[in-house]
A and B are shown apart, each in its own frame.
Chain A
Amino acid sequence: MADYEKIEINTLFEIPALKPGVMKDSSPYVAAPAHQEALGFPGELVDDWQARAIEKFGELLKRSRALRVYLDGCVKCGACTDKCHYFLGTGDPKNMPVARQDLLRKIYRRYFTFAGKYFPKLVGAEDLTKEVLDDWYSYFHQCSQCRRCSVYCPYGIDTAEISMAAREIMDHIGKGQKYCNEILGKVHKIGNNLGLPEPALRDTLEGLEEDIEEETGVAVKLPVNVKGADILLVTPSADFFAEPHVDGLIGYAKVFHQAGVSWTVSSYASEAANFAMFIGSYEQMKQVAERIRKAAIDLGVKRIIFGECGHAWRVAYSFMNTLAGPFDFLDPDYPVPQHICEFTWDLIEKGELKFDKSANDHMTLTFHDSCNVARASRMGDSPGGQFEIPRNIIRAVCNNFVDMAADTIRESTFCCGGGGGLLTDDLLEIRTKGASPRMTALEEVVEQHGVTHMAAICAICKTQFAKVMPKYGFGMDRVVSLHQLVSNAIILDGQLGSEPGTDVEPVENVAGA
């Protein structure tokens, strides 16, 4: 792999010249037979893989209108060609969304369309060969399913749907990706991506309780498996120990404490992430989502709230009702599920939280919209709430906030480079290069506005940035959790150092806050 200790950042978003094939060999480790078989996929590439792939392809076409319409409808207008962060970062033409789709489309045309069956050369149809499969494996694992291309496509063609279908086909012929499939196995077996068992989870959370009490003097609890609690918190397992994720978790706990609600995490469903979305498996995704339903029923909670995680929020907000609903056993007065940002912002709007904004004065913040939150979900009641609510919270708890360039935020946000099942060391090269558009935008506000930190609401974004930012000359601690900012500024009742006589009134315990 190439050496990039310090990558030079373009000051402009230059569209690179095409460099065909430069990322051809960037492909992730193939799943071992044990990881494959645990999910019901063949252990290794089956002998009649061509026939099986076409058969699976045909099944998917019958199951998904999106796949059919997107494969038929592209006119090759080129609108998407300069929109993918992996293309901008590598210049490999197969990272242009349309070219990535064409890897699957040329097979669709050859085997499923009149034109491709009888005039393959004319319409760019090709036989499914080993070379094509290798390209599939490389380039469908250089897509983070961030949907930026879909925003700009005149037909809304979503490359995420295409790469999910391709990965689903590859899983069914025995060529799955190690990272995603191994993790899914852990979720089924232990309950979370990290394989963190219940005793370790309890231990970790108790440790956090001690830390908070030491720091604030307030006994903020992080309960596990409490039956009859009002709220089930489902959060990415990285929140339990990774930096800066854990500081966000402390923030949620403080908000829950101050709101006076009873809440719990579940050791059975101790993971918000649902990597089954990345591999495009509806059945796997459903199985993982059903854990949360079961945990909610078993614990008898009234509400479900999700922590900061991008793709998890997409699955939770957009898919969970479909996959594991109906959730008619929960309190109908609240959306199912709720995002922690919705919960916190609601309290702020009602004036139920008090902050000392100067606690964040050592930072000037910007905000990275996570792709799955921005383009595949919503917060609040109106479209675009997913952009406003996190920013509103930041403005409520920080004095210094600046947005990055308009074409790199909100619906035009750039992926961190590590989404879609790419957050693995064997893909570090593409991850690093894919982060370059975001790093370029960050560099701009750092230089122009003295931005010191970038807040995120996604476990993958946080891990990815902590890893690749040093390669761009930023410290790994420059990425922070949004609720870490809340945690810094929130004034808990009875907190140490909250000066007597200042205007910190006790907040009533409103169970339904």
Chain B
Amino acid sequence: MLSTIFAILFYLATLVMIVGLGYKIRLYALTPAPLKIPTTPAPVTRRGVVLRMFKEVAFFESLFKSNKWTWLFGWIFHAALLLVVLRHLRYFTDPVWFWVTWIQPLGKYAGFAMLAGLIALWARRFLVERVRYISSPSDHLMLILLIGIAVSGLMMKYVVHTDIVALKAFALGLLHFDWQPLPADPVLLIHLGLVLILMFIFPVSKLLHAPGVFFSPSRNQVDNPREKRHLAPWAAALDANRSNNGGDS
């Protein structure tokens, strides 16, 4: 019964996440950017923009310019989260990919780094007056959610072990539509339940910053407005009203 509920929820959450994110990404991609608004100095080539975006996504370059503490906590959290997520691939691959095996030792420490980063980020929401002012309940809840995921995960690693073999069978069963029983450990259920919530809210929350950054015109546009005419479809329609000599419009 429990296994069935969780299996269905995981399918549902995956569907919501994929369809929801797909819808948002499609919307971002299809909505035109009518004007050239890169924050300058900006790259003058497409290749330069790829590099700028890479530095932004991999190293949080702008945040580094802004505030070293926020950068440090934020970067540690995101980098650790990435490692932790990659580490979890071992539950979905059989045999486990070689590089996933390699990062296992790192991934263990990453769990603590992730938690430390999250706690520091949350502390800012109380301690820094300006950040306290701009925080909504959802900003706190998002951090609580992530902290809950990190703590329950670390608990299973270091305090109350769960049946990893059975868990892996459950995960692989989901992938192959061959459902297997899920170990009924409370900590595991909490961990998975929180992850489910995270997946469900991804497309309707500020987690949209992840796909959004790639569509930010101030970061992804090439600085070449004089060389190349940039024109949105709806704006091109306005040109139709212009007489050929460009004069009396």
Contacts and interface: CB of A to CB of B under 8 A. Distances in A.
13 contacts: A69-B212, A73-B212, A78-B130, A102-B134, A113-B204, A152-B62, A152-B65, A155-B209, A155-B219, A375-B39, A376-B37, A381-B44, A383-B44
B212 A115 contact: no
A141 B35 CA distance: 22
A73 B218 contact: no
A223 interface: no
A335 B40 CA distance: 18
Contacts of B135: 76
Contact of A290 (B32, B33, B62, B246): B246
B133 interface: yes
B123 interface: no
Contacts of B208: 72-73
Contacts of A15: 130
A287 B242 CA distance: 10
For the side of the interface on A, what is the size category? 35 or more
B225 A319 contact: yes
A376 B209 contact: no
Interface string A62-77: 1111101110111111
Contact of B216 (A81, A157, A387): A157
Contact of B206 (A17, A61, A76, A319): A76
Contacts of A294: 246-249
- Which of A78, A283, A329, A376: most chain B CB closer than 10 A? A78
Given A77-B70, A283-B238, A321-B230, A378 B40 contact: yes
Contact of A152 (B66, B206, B247): B66
B225 A65 contact: no
A314 to B, nearest CB: 9
B216 A155 contact: yes
A156 B63 CA distance: 10
Interface string A113-144: 11100000111100000000000000000000
Nearest to B73: A77
Given A115-B204, A153-B62, A378-B223, A72 B213 contact: no
Contact of B139 (A63, A76, A114, A158): A76
B172 interface: no
A202 B86 CA distance: 72
Interface stretch (B23-31, B94-102, B173-181): B23-31
B82 interface: no
Contacts of A152: 62-63, 65-67
Contact of A321 (B42, B128, B226): B226
B60 A298 contact: no
A96 B134 contact: yes
B63 A77 contact: yes
B226 A122 contact: no
B85 interface: no
A65 B33 contact: yes
Interface of A: 15, 17-18, 61-66, 68-70, 72-83, 93, 96, 98-99, 102, 113-115, 121-124, 147, 150-158, 161, 282-283, 286-287, 290, 293-294, 297-298, 317-319, 321-322, 324-326, 329, 335-337, 374-378, 381-384, 386-387, 411
Nearest to B142: A75
A73 B209 contact: yes
A322 B229 contact: yes
Interface of B: 24, 27-28, 31-37, 39-44, 56, 60, 62-63, 65-67, 70, 74, 124, 128-131, 133-139, 141, 201, 204-206, 208-209, 212-213, 215-219, 223, 225-226, 228-232, 234-235, 238, 242, 245-249
A322 B36 contact: yes
B137 A121 contact: yes
B130 A322 contact: no
Nearest to B33: A65
A382 B41 CA distance: 9
B31 A68 contact: yes
Contacts of A66: 33, 37, 216-218
Contacts of B206: 72-76
Given A321-B225, A321-B226, A75 B245 contact: no
Which 3 pairs between the two chains have the least Cβ-Cβ distance? A73-B212, A383-B41, A156-B218
A124 B129 CA distance: 18
Contacts of A17: 129
Nearest to B44: A383
A68 B34 contact: no
A10 to B, nearest CB: 17
Nearest to B129: A18
A157 to B, nearest CB: 7
Contact of B133 (A99, A123, A154, A317): A99
A351 B206 CA distance: 55
Contact of A122 (B63, B141, B212, B232): B141
A232 to B, nearest CB: 14
Contact of B39 (A122, A147, A326): A147
A109 to B, nearest CB: 10
B41 A411 contact: yes
A69 B215 contact: yes
A81 B28 contact: no
